[in-house]
Amino acid sequence: MMRMFEMSDLGLLSYYLGIEVKQTPDCISLCQAGYASKILEKTGMLNCNSNGEPFVDATEYRRIIGSLRYLVNTRPDLAYSVGVVSRYMDTPTVTHMNAVKQILRYVRGTIGMGIVYKKNQEKEELVGFSDSDLAGDTDDRKSTSGIIFFIGESPITWVSHKQRIVVLSSCEAEYIAATGGACQGLWLKKIIAELRGDDKVKPVLKVDNKSAISLANNPVFHERSKHIDTRIHFIRDCVQCGDIQLEYVKTEEQVADLLTKPLARQRFNELRDRIGVKQV
């Protein structure tokens, strides 16, 4: 081309239309670092945190979480959401703080709600519900268990927590939640027996997964359950000894669903009413 046209040799190409070019005997690399910096400068993000999520004051975040966790003592409807934001207390970011503020907005709108314990209820049975989502945590794919127990119509204990292992099926997730419910039920049975002076109370635990109930009733290990940790099979002994009774409940009637996952507004309000959180 230089023989045919008059031109100057400027050497190897290093920059063209915002593209930085580096040429070596082995490779050619293209980069737009300068162009990217201009974009950040124009948008005011040149000095932002490189992970895209600015951190917030961890001490303040933990203080708010601690207060909300104490509020859960009378507000089981907050148990799941507060449990989720509690997982990020080490290095909270703006996104996490925004989630906390959303919870606070909900608290502001329902500030007068609590639990009512009625005297001389007709049915004073000890009834529990256990439920689980499946791999709901997008970070580690672990499931969340939800457990709540009632005496009559009033809730007396509840918990929403992430399971310690990654499960392989919804049956396994529900089975683990039911095992936690069995432990809780036996503990309540002992407390009630001490208070009343008798041990006639027999906890009933309601589960919305028939496979998990079958697994608890069947002592035979099979392909779908032999990998489950033996300590989780504690519920089998409870069922066989008659310490706890398992019953199937339809998913629509599973009130512990509120403790395992985010729900649509209508479903959330419905379950909130059913677990006994009311305006007081």
Q: pLDDT, tens digit, for every residue of 101-129?
A: 898 988 888 888 888 887 766 667 899 99
A 10 A CB-CB count for 59 gives 7
The number of residues making up the chain comes to: 280
E-assigned strands of the chain? Answer: 15-16, 19-23, 28-31, 113-115, 126-132, 144-151, 154-162, 204-207, 245-248, 277-279
Question: How confident is the model over 23-58, as pLDDT tens digits?
Answer: 888 787 777 778 777 766 776 656 666 666 788 889
CA atoms within 13 A on the CB side of 124: 10
233 burial level (CB within 10 Å; 0-12, 13-18, 19+)? middle
d(CA 160, CA 131) in angstroms, rounded, equals 10
d(CA 163, CA 213) in angstroms, rounded, equals 19
Mean pLDDT of the 133-148 span: 90
Question: How confident is the model over 173-216, as pLDDT tens digits?
Answer: 999 999 999 999 999 999 988 888 877 788 999 999 998 998 88
Quote the pTM value. 0.77
Mean pLDDT of the 70-76 span: 89
- CB 46 within 8 Å of CB 39: no
